[in-house]
Amino acid sequence: MNNEKTYVTKPYLPPLEEFIPYLEKVWQSGQLTNGGPFHKQFELALAEYLEVPHVALFTNATIALVTALQALRITGEVITTPYSFVATAHSLLWNGIKPVFVDIDPVTLNMDPAKIEAAITPQTTAILPVHCYGHPCDVEAIEKIADMYNLRVIYDAAHAFGVQCHCGSVLNHGDLSILSFHATKVFNTFEGGAIICRDLKSKERIDFLKNFGYANETAVVATGINGKMSEFNAALGLLQLKHIDGALAKRQEIDALYRQALADVPGVRCVSGRDELRANYAYFPILLEEDYPIARDELYNLLLEHNIHARRYFYPLISEFSMYRGLPSASPSNLPRAHFASSRILCLPIYPDLPLEIVHQVVDIVRRARPQALVA
Ligand X SMILES: *Cc1c(COP(=O)(O)O)cnc(C)c1O
Binding residues (CB under 6 A) for ligand X: these are: 60-62, 84-85, 87-88, 130, 156, 158-159, 180, 182, 193
CB of 62 to ligand X, least distance (A): 3
| Residue 233 backbone phi and psi in degrees, to 5 | -65, -40
CB of 115 to ligand X, least distance (A): 19
DSSP 311: B
3-state SS assignment for residue 295: coil
Contacts with 180 (C-beta within 8 Å, 6 or more apart), sequence order: 60, 61, 64, 158, 159, 192, 193
Can you list the pairs that 73-76 forms with residues at least 24 positions away whose Cβ atoms lie under 8 Å? 74/125, 74/126, 74/152, 74/154, 75/125, 76/123, 76/124, 76/125
In this complex, which beta carbon is closest to ligand X, that of residue 182 or of residue 344? 182
CB of 181 to ligand X, least distance (A): 7
In this complex, which beta carbon is closest to ligand X, that of residue 319 or of residue 361? 319
CB of 226 to ligand X, least distance (A): 14
In this complex, which beta carbon is closest to ligand X, that of residue 193 or of residue 352? 193
CB of 310 to ligand X, least distance (A): 16
In this complex, which beta carbon is closest to ligand X, that of residue 116 or of residue 160? 160
In this complex, which beta carbon is closest to ligand X, that of residue 195 or of residue 330? 195
Ramachandran area for residue 96 (φ above 0: left; ψ -120 to 50: alpha; else beta)? left
In this complex, which beta carbon is closest to ligand X, that of residue 110 or of residue 361? 110
Count of CB atoms situated within 10 Å of the CB of 6? 22
What Rg, from alpha-carbon coordinates, does the chain have? 21
Compute the CA torsion angle 112, 114, 118, 119 (nearest 10 deg): 20
CB of 195 to ligand X, least distance (A): 12
Nearest to 283 by CA among 310, 249, 245: 310
